Structure 1
Amino acid sequence: MLCNSYIRTVIVRVVNIGSFTRTRLELSNINKSLHAGLRVGYTWNREFRKSSKMMVDSAAKRGPIVDVLPEKEDDGGYVSGGWKSEDGKLRCGYSSFRGKRATMEDFYDIKTSNVDGQAVCMFGVFDGHGGSRAAEYLKEHLFENLLKHPQFMTDTKLAISETYQQTDVDFLESERDTYRDDGSTASTAILVGNHLYVANVGDSRTVISKAGKAIPLSEDHKPNRCDERKRIENAGGVVMWAGTWRVGGVLAMSRAFGNRMLKQFVVAEPEIQVIVKFR
């Protein structure tokens, strides 16, 4: 089931270009805007796959990773803030509230760094379900893992795809001795120079607003989507109607992090859109 009781928003502005919003990530023209708002859901199970650890590239010159957000938020009450780059060319704002849930299950993250003299900015919204651990793990590790990928600067799209999937494996490994089965979506935007990479797993949404027109940069990963249903059934899974279409009659999205018992069918492989000359 999905519950619309909680929404998070992050807004990023690039001077003279457009603004940048998220969950729905919205991007606009004269101020490109990338907006990501979230929807909260539940989930239950999954199987766990192993894969080799990512190698760290010691050759790339990386500056410190700067976490734009406070280290900890309160108990899920309303939080908001903003940030501006040193050169004033990039600005972002964020807001968050828990809604009707007893505890906060969702997280968002904004980090900046410098790699080989190139500015890198990373924005993410993580919509947790079945608990907060998966979303919290993504906030703590996803972007740091991405910057360690040996091909982050030379093949950013590949690095994002491999990092998403390896981080999922790492999360499941970290939870193997628990009885929890948390899951999370991820909607992220990675700005490397003037290239914007938008990656999505799950049913959070990214939209670019261009000249006042909303253009989707992601497509929901739903079990009844033709290609997703075929992938699940080819893996031996089933898609059933239970109030909405669900994997195994349980999960209302076809891709997610975590969810160990459905891992064979519900993968963390992202779909990635690239916008060239974003700035």
Structure 2
Amino acid sequence: MSRLRHSSSSTRRIDNVENDWLGGPSSPKPSSYVAPLRGDAESSSPASSDPSPDSMISSRDPNSLFSGGGISFLAGNQHVKFTYGYSSLKGKRATMEDCFETRISDVDGQMVAFFGVFDGHGGARTAEYLKNNLFKSLVTHDEFISDTKKAIVEVFKHTDEEYLIEERGQPKNAGSTASTALLIGDKLIVANVGDSRVVASRNGSAGPLSNDHKPDRPDERQRIEDAGGFIIWAGTWRVGGILAVSRAFGDKQLKPYVIAEPEIQEEDISTLDFIVIASDGLWNVLSNKDAVAIVRDISDAETASRKLVQEAYARGSCDNITCIVVRFEVS
């Protein structure tokens, strides 16, 4: 993998060059970076008492659809240009519990891109903690570049432990899923905890890059029961009759049955057209095939992410809906 030039030092160098999070502060951009395109233009749709998603395009209104995106490059054995877009909508829920992160950093001279969707339950505080801490902890791991998968497993576990320490004073249980994708050189590394999902398009065909962690998945049920826990049907299968996912960060009252150990999958970027990372507010009403079909003919990643959120809302999703689309061009 080729590396960006910087002065030599024995101290690990991590330069954050981008952090797109609901209009958060931005650090200096690399020369190859193109400024994000924000979805803040006013809609031409007529106003109504029950606005459609098309009329919800403002970064100010908490009920609005928020979107943005950007363009950057990675240098590995092949030159990779990637464009990305993100969209998020509170939808029909009373509160917004989804968070997401898009970040590009120089780690020891290696350009790294990180994308993550975090779907909170019992409030947004776990998802916010992951947004603020997960990638930061990953890139400071001593073996992040040399053994990325090992670093991911250790950091996910440590982040969960640190979060649970902070939760000791909280009377209410809370947790969050995490679906993440790392771009390092020619590699895409997906790590998933929970039922948010990453789906890829290969030559126009849809394929999952993560498997949902549901309590009734046979291997997950066996793991929970081996640990002394149980699952029961309460409208859906739930761990201890409470939680409808079998892996998550937080959820202190359900430890050790609900764990934050990720399942990891690695792909060569050259085999992929694009990926979609989304919370279950999207996947509850769209199949993998549906999502890929919608994105396939939309060249702009932000427009594609916005269309996915709007389509999920139109199909009756009752949850918060957040998604990230990343398109690849390899030369």
State whether TM-score is above 0.5: yes
- Whichever of the two has the greater Rg, that structure is 2
- Give the structure 1 partner of residue 259 of structure 2: 267
1:60 matches 2:12: yes
Contact 1:237/1:247 (8 A) holds in 2: yes
Equivalent in the alignment of 1:193: 185
Give the equivalent residue in structure 1 for 2:95: 103
Provide the secondary structure at the position in 1 that maps to 2:117.
strand
Work out the CA distance in 1 between the residues paired with 2:104 and 2:20: 7
In the alignment, is the contact (CA less than 8 A) between 1:76 and 1:96 conserved in 2?
Answer: no
State the AA in 1 paired with 2:225: E
Work out the CA distance in 2 between the residues paired with 1:193 and 1:245. Answer: 40
Corresponding residue for 1:79? 66
CA distance in 1, matches of 2:94, 2:109: 44
1:154 corresponds to which of 143, 146, 157: 146
Amino acid aligned to 1:71: G
**1:31 matched to which residue of 2?**
none
AA paired with 2:86?
Y
Q: Is the 8 A contact 2:16 2:103 kept in 1?
A: no
Q: Tell me, what secondary structure is at the counterpart of 1:163?
A: helix
Residue identity matched to 1:116 = D
Q: Kindly state the Cα deviation for residue 214 of structure 1 after the two structures are TM-superposed.
A: 0.4
**Conserved in 2, the CA contact under 8 Å of 1:83 and 1:92?**
yes
SS in 2 for 1:161: helix
Q: Relative to 1, partners in 2 of residues 1:86 and 1:227: Cα closer, same or farther, differing over 3 Å? A: closer
Q: Deviations over 1:3-24 (max 9, x none)?
A: xxxxxxxxxxxxxxxxxxxxxx
1:135 matches 2:127: yes
Within 2, Cα distance between the matches of 1:255 and 1:183?
Answer: 10
Residue 64 of structure 1, CA deviation: 2.9
Name the SS for the 1:196 alignment partner: strand
Q: What's the C-alpha RMSD, in Å, of the aligned pairs?
A: 1.8
Contact 1:200-1:271 at 8 Å conserved across structures: yes
**Cα 1:119–1:252 shift into 2, 3 Å:** same
**CA distance in structure 1 between the aligned counterparts of 2:85 and 2:216, rounded to whole angstroms:** 35
- The Cα of 1:245 is off from its aligned counterpart by 1.0
Residue in 2 that maps onto 1:226: 218
TM-score normalised per structure 2? 0.64
Count of paired positions:
222
| AA at the equivalent of 1:77 | S
CA distance in 1 between partners of 2:255 and 2:102 (Å): 28
Question: Structure 1's 163 and 191: CA in aligned 2 closer, same or farther, altered over 3 A?
Answer: same
Aligned partners of 2:251 and 2:63: how far apart in 1? Answer: 23
- Check the 8 A contact 1:127/1:186 in 2, yes or no: yes
Whether 2:166 is the aligned partner of 1:174: answer yes
In 2, the alpha carbon distance for the partners of 1:68 and 1:247 equals 34
AA partner of residue 202 (structure 2): K
Aligned position for 2:309: none
Runs of 4 or more above 4 Å deviation: none
Q: CA deviation at 1:81?
A: 1.1
Q: Secondary structure at the match of 1:267?
A: coil
What code does the residue aligned with 2:237 have? W
Instruction: Give 1:256's aligned amino acid.
Output: A
* TM-score between the two structures when normalised by the length of structure 1: 0.75
Counterpart of 1:79 in structure 2: which amino acid?
F
* CA distance in 1: counterparts of 2:210 and 2:200, whole angstroms: 10
CA distance in 2: counterparts of 1:203 and 1:249, whole angstroms: 17
Assess if the C-alpha contact under 8 Å between 1:76 and 1:103 holds in 2. Answer: no
Aligned partner of residue 87 in structure 2, secondary structure = strand
Shift in Å, 1:84? 1.7
Question: Are the equivalent residues in 1 in contact too, given 2:224–2:230 (CA < 8 A)?
Answer: yes
Gaps of 5+ in 2: 1-9, 26-58, 75-79, 271-329
CA contact (8 A) 2:210 2:263 kept: yes
1:189 partner amino acid: A
Q: Give the partner amino acid of 2:204.
A: G
Change (3 A) 1:171 1:82: same
